[in-house]
């Protein structure tokens, strides 16, 4: 048996190396063997590199998604209590949309069993942002997670050992072996986790630009098409939206700062781009769930949930149920704050033409707000607040941003570097397009 | 530091993934880090797959060879005692040339500090063949190895922990991750080991055909060119010969059986193809060492070493010095013999058109004469003796081969399978060309 297994593993890697398509059976054998520990990390990583370079057919991508999804437990919910729809973003800088979208979508009649990830690389993670709220727990056991979805319509969960173990193991390798950028691997990673949540549909915000993993429009389109194809083949609803990630989303980036911004959106006082994107994604979810007929209707329902105060109330109840202590009336909501805040001033007058989102993400990581390695501790307080965004007029000496840091040296250094990533030109700059 | 290192490793893999050439410094950093254990197996295997699919430039291949060579100790010999020249074969079925070539080359005035490998896959290894001689040891400490080279002009050594550790670690991964077939990786693996022997030149027999790793002539030519280029760049002499490996070399394949055939060649009674190839390779070595002016002269010198009995005597002395007990007068030289010998008979009359070398190699492995995994025990007695070769006439019922096996069931099965790999046709078949 050992002989047969060893030969099959090498044959499967060889086939992918030579560009031949793998059967569903071969892909399942490979994924199951890896999760069981019979196939070594180094064999998986050679396979992953072959996939990055030779790609996968649609049939292979579906097989990979299904095999990964079925590597762990599959959540199930009673079918009667409203459509189960989730949202996923491929990740960007300042992307805190999930935080406000979840309570709004619930108030609009959906159930949202959202399982989110942590930040790695230059983009933040929803769980890290939430965990800047004192006491809040995201590592919910499957039973408790299901209970909260039943009780409150949804909650913010972390991927546990039991759910899609294949993805956790594979992702850790991809991150360490330069095999992250691959449309079929990204597709399988996203959809295996989302579909294991027991949802009937998912809206995917494919981020595109310097502050995202997909830097070019055609890569983003390829990913969107791949996601839609796999969703169709697996009998689940999928809608994709491609949005710009050239400059950071909203005015804040950094964990606690983004929670504060999320609450401001839920209070009807948030930045325009965040608010608009939230309404649009909620509308897509409602369309998928069959609760509205048009995008406009969906966006109105989303806006109502904010205007009525119901969404903020729902958010507060979910945070509380997950153990979080948020002081909605207090300064900075009672979240931990950085000891040093330093302003970055415009070195000249003109119009803001570019704010490098990727640079900001990297600087936040350097300030202690992100991870270089899995398991690194995160400082929730550090980050940036933007006072100007692309298209805005600025006079020399105007405050472009504030950096929140642990000490003066960090703050100085990050402010100086960030200024290099902001360009101010004479000619007027049109406001950037959010939807691509 | 950990941060910087982690980033560099991923950047190096990314560059190779994206087809960008690596600098000598990056390659050395990667090889050194891997040998030191700072770069994980799974990172190396992703890198190797990227090399297989995206290739390496000449400059990269030289840098890889040099970094691997310098990962361990480098042997050195006094310059006065005759040119230090070695021979390497890329491996085939029945290729026992090293066994007779080494004593012949020494008798012609060369020193040959030969470090050989073990069989893995369907091809045999020189060390495994030699170790069918009772008592013979090939795991010589570097000091003892050097002593034998001084004393006897050469000996048969195994790669030790100290010599090119990078290759041993990398090769184990390549074998398990389908990353063996790559011209730059094969080049670096061969030449790092050969040049660590302290030789000034090496002749490489690039095997081509069904019974070799390189199955096509253009692959073999690519490898030969790559080897010659790296040799030139590193200031060492290289000559390559491309030879056919469609049918097994000689009349015997299997460890002890090949030692017996080697002694028959040294006694002037060996098969024509083995004898001719040996003379040719010795001639190339003598040309490299500057001891002869023409190939003809070299081949004559090689033939003299056999005719005079000096080469056989040298072989016996080297075997004895390595602890081996060979009974040159006795039946089968006193080597262990298989309990079962079964003949394979011609199913029809005609001319032998094909003897599948690869199949024979796989069958020997199945009989216990090769390895499926590193560390598998080898049975020295099993193998095949061919009574007909390509181009020979055969009448129905003639003996085509004998299979040597541990029991009747193995013998039956191997004989039946081997007959399927031998085709006999009506039309006359020309003798195969050995040199391509």
Please write the tens of the pLDDT for every residue from A208-257. 999 998 889 999 999 999 999 999 999 999 999 999 999 999 999 999 99
Whole-number pLDDT of residue A115: 93
CB within 8 Å: B6 and A48: no
- Which of B168, B193, B194, B210 does the annotation list as catalytic? B193
Burial class (CB in 10 A: 0-12, 13-18, 19+), A48: buried
Q: Which residues on A lie below 8 Å from B2 (Cβ)?
A: 372-373
CB neighbour list of residue B257: distance below 8 Å, 6 or more residues apart: B383, B384, B385, B404
Is B351 known to be catalytic?
A: no
Write out the E strands in A9-136: 85-89, 112-116
| 3-state SS class at B19 | coil
Residue A85 has pLDDT above 60, yes or no: yes
Of chain B, the percentage scoring pLDDT greater than 70 comes to 98
Is A167 known to be catalytic?
A: yes
CA distance B105 to B293: 16
CB within 8 Å: A53 and B48: no
The minimal CB distance from B17 to the residues A14, A17, A52 is found for A52
Residue A283 has pLDDT above 90, yes or no: yes
Whole-number pLDDT of residue A2: 38
Hey, which residues 404-433 in chain A have their CB within 8 Å of chain B?
Answer: none
Q: Which residues on A lie below 8 Å from B46 (Cβ)?
A: 45-46, 48-49, 177-179
CA distance B159 to B171: 12
The minimal CB distance from A45 to the residues B2, B14, B46 is found for B46
The minimal CB distance from A176 to the residues B10, B11, B48 is found for B10
Q: Which residues on B lie below 8 Å from A53 (Cβ)?
A: 17, 49-50, 53-54
C-alpha triplet B181, B275, B392: angle, nearest 5°: 85
Looking at chain A, which residue has its C-alpha nearest residue B50?
A: A49
pLDDT digits (tens, 9 = 90+) for B127-136: 999 999 999 9
CB neighbour list of residue A64: distance below 8 Å, 6 or more residues apart: A27, A31, A56, A184, A185, A188
Burial class (CB in 10 A: 0-12, 13-18, 19+), A198: middle
Whether A178 contacts chain B with CB within 8 A: yes
Can you tell me the mean pLDDT for B318-343? 96
Residue A181 has pLDDT above 60, yes or no: yes
CB within 8 Å: B53 and A54: yes
Cβ pairs bridging A and B (under 8 Å)? 93
Task: State the pTM of this model.
Answer: 0.89
CB within 8 Å: A176 and B43: yes
Which helix (H) or strand (E) segment holds residue A279: the answer is helix A272-289
Q: How far apart are the first and last CA of chain B?
A: 52
CB within 8 Å: A178 and B13: yes
Q: In angstroms, what is the C-alpha Rg of chain A?
A: 22
pLDDT bucket at B7, cuts 50 / 70 / 90: low
pLDDT digits (tens, 9 = 90+) for A333-384: 999 999 999 999 999 999 999 999 999 999 999 999 998 877 789 999 999 9
CB within 8 Å: A17 and B179: yes
CA distance B371 to B127: 13
CB within 8 Å: A43 and B44: no
Whether A374 contacts chain B with CB within 8 A: no
Identify the residue whose tokens are 């972390």. Answer: A158
Identify the residue whose tokens are 């991870």. Answer: A371
Q: Which of B168, B227, B165, B235 lies closest to B199, judged by CA? A: B235
Residue A421 has pLDDT above 80, yes or no: yes
Give the residues across from A403 on adjacent strands.
A342, A384
Q: CA neighbours within 13 Å on the CB side: how many for B370?
A: 24
Whether B1 contacts chain A with CB within 8 A: no
Q: How many helices (H) and strands (E) does chain B have?
A: 16, 12
Q: Which residue has the higher pLDDT, A322 or A432?
A: A322
The minimal CB distance from A13 to the residues B7, B54, B178 is found for B178
| C-beta separation of B403 from B333 below 8 A | no
Whether A14 contacts chain B with CB within 8 A: yes
How would you classify residue A423: left for phi > 0, otherwise alpha for psi between -120 and 50, otherwise beta?
Answer: beta
CB within 8 Å: B17 and A176: no
CB within 8 Å: A373 and B6: yes
ipTM of this complex: 0.87
Query: Mean pLDDT, chain A, as a whole number?
Result: 95
Identify the residue whose tokens are 């000559």. Answer: B239
Lowest mean pLDDT, pick from A387-401, B74-88, B278-292, B408-422 = B74-88
CB within 8 Å: B17 and A50: no
Q: How far is A369 from chain B (nearest CA, A)?
A: 15
Can you tell me the mean pLDDT for A326-332? 92
Can you tell me the mean pLDDT for B265-283? 97
Q: In angstroms, what is the C-alpha Rg of chain B?
A: 22
- Which of A71, A89, A132, A189 does the annotation list as catalytic? A189
Q: Which residues on A lie below 8 Å from B372 (Cβ)?
A: 3, 6
Q: How far is A335 from chain B (nearest CA, A)?
A: 29
- Which of B28, B66, B88, B351 does the annotation list as catalytic? B88
Q: How far is B14 from chain A (nearest CA, A)?
A: 5
Q: How far is A16 from chain B (nearest CA, A)?
A: 10
| C-beta separation of B124 from B248 below 8 A | no
- Which of B167, B205, B379, B410 does the annotation list as catalytic? B167
Is B88 known to be catalytic?
A: yes
pLDDT digits (tens, 9 = 90+) for B355-412: 999 999 999 999 999 988 777 899 999 999 999 999 999 999 999 999 999 999 999 9
Which helix (H) or strand (E) segment holds residue A203: the answer is strand A201-208
CB neighbour list of residue B288: distance below 8 Å, 6 or more residues apart: B83, B85, B200, B201, B202, B203, B237, B238, B239
| 3-state SS class at A114 | strand
Mutation target for A interface from B7, B42, B121, B169: give the one with most A CBs within 10 A: B42
Is A66 known to be catalytic?
A: no
Q: How far is B369 from chain A (nearest CA, A)?
A: 15
Q: How far is B158 from chain A (nearest CA, A)?
A: 26
Whether A176 contacts chain B with CB within 8 A: yes
CA distance A307 to A132: 26
Lowest mean pLDDT, pick from A163-177, A191-205, B115-129 = B115-129
| 3-state SS class at A309 | coil
The minimal CB distance from B48 to the residues A11, A46, A48 is found for A46
Residue B2 has pLDDT above 90, yes or no: no
CA distance A197 to A146: 10
pLDDT bucket at A7, cuts 50 / 70 / 90: low
Which helix (H) or strand (E) segment holds residue A35: the answer is helix A24-36
Whether A39 contacts chain B with CB within 8 A: no
Hey, which residues 131-170 in chain A have their CB within 8 Å of chain B?
Answer: none
Residue A1 has pLDDT above 80, yes or no: no
pLDDT digits (tens, 9 = 90+) for B254-272: 999 999 999 999 999 999 9
Q: Which residues on B lie below 8 Å from A5 (Cβ)?
A: none
Can you tell me the mean pLDDT for A3-16? 78
- Which of A174, A314, A388, A404 does the annotation list as catalytic? A174
Q: How many residues does chain B have?
A: 436
Looking at chain A, which residue has its C-alpha nearest residue B12?
A: A178
The minimal CB distance from A50 to the residues B14, B49, B372 is found for B49
Q: Which residues on B lie below 8 Å from A178 (Cβ)?
A: 10-11, 13-14, 17, 46
Full strand arrangement of the beta sheet holding B237-244? B85-89, B201-208, B237-244
CA distance B280 to B295: 7
Farthest-apart Cα atoms in chain B, separation = 74
CB within 8 Å: A41 and B46: no
CB within 8 Å: B45 and A50: no
Whole-number pLDDT of residue A117: 86
Is A251 known to be catalytic?
A: no
Q: How many residues does chain A have?
A: 436
Q: Which of A273, A251, A245 lies closest to A400, judged by CA? A: A251
Whether A1 contacts chain B with CB within 8 A: no
Residue B112 has pLDDT above 70, yes or no: yes
The minimal CB distance from A46 to the residues B49, B372, B373 is found for B49
Looking at chain B, which residue has its C-alpha nearest residue A19?
A: B53
Can you tell me the mean pLDDT for A127-156? 95
Q: How far is B185 from chain A (nearest CA, A)?
A: 15
């Amino acid at each position: 048996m050992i002989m047969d297994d060893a030969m099959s593993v090498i044959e499967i890697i060889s086939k992918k190396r030579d560009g031949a398509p793998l059967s569903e059976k071969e892909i399942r054998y490979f994924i199951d063997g890896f999760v069981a520990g019979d196939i070594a990390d180094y064999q998986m990583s050679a396979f992953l590199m072959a996939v990055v370079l030779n790609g996968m057919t649609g049939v292979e991508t579906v097989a990979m998604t299904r095999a990964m999804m079925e590597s762990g437990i599959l959540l199930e919910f009673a079918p009667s209590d409203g459509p189960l729809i989730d949202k996923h973003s491929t990740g960007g800088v300042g992307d805190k949309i999930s935080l406000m979208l979840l309570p709004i979508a619930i108030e609009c009649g959906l159930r949202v069993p959202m399982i989110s990830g942590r930040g790695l690389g230059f983009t933040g993670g929803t769980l890290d942002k939430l965990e800047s709220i004192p006491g809040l727990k995201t590592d919910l056991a499957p039973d408790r997670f299901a209970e909260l979805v039943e009780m409150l319509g949804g909650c913010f969960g972390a991927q546990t050992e039991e759910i899609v173990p294949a993805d956790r193991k594979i992702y850790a390798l991809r991150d360490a072996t330069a095999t992250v950028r691959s449309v079929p691997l990204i597709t399988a990673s996203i959809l295996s986790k989302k579909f294991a949540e027991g949802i009937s549909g998912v809206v995917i915000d494919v981020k595109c630009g310097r502050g995202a993993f997909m830097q070019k429009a055609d890569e983003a389109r390829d990913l969107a098409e791949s996601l839609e194809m796999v969703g169709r083949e697996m009998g689940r609803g999928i809608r994709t939206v491609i949005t710009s990630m050239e400059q950071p989303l909203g005015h804040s980036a950094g964990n606690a700062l983004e929670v504060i911004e999320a609450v401001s959106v839920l209070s009807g006082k948030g930045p325009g781009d965040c608010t608009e994107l939230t309404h649009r994604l909620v509308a897509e979810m409602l369309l998928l769930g069959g609760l509205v007929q048009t995008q406009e209707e969906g966006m109105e329902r989303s806006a109502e949930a904010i205007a009525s105060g119901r969404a903020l109330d729902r958010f507060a109840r979910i945070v509380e149920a997950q153990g979080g202590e948020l002081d909605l009336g207090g300064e900075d909501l009672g979240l931990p704050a950085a000891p040093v805040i330093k302003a970055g001033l415009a070195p000249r007058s003109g119009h803001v033409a570019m704010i490098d989102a990727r640079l900001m993400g990297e600087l936040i990581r350097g300030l202690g707000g992100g991870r270089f390695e899995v398991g690194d501790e995160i400082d929730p307080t550090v980050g940036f607040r933007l006072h100007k965004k692309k298209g805005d007029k600025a006079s020399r000496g105007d405050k472009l941003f504030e950096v929140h840091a642990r000490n003066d040296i960090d703050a100085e250094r990050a402010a100086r570097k960030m200024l290099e990533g902001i360009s101010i030109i004479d000619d007027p700059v049109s406001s950037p397009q959010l939807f691509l």
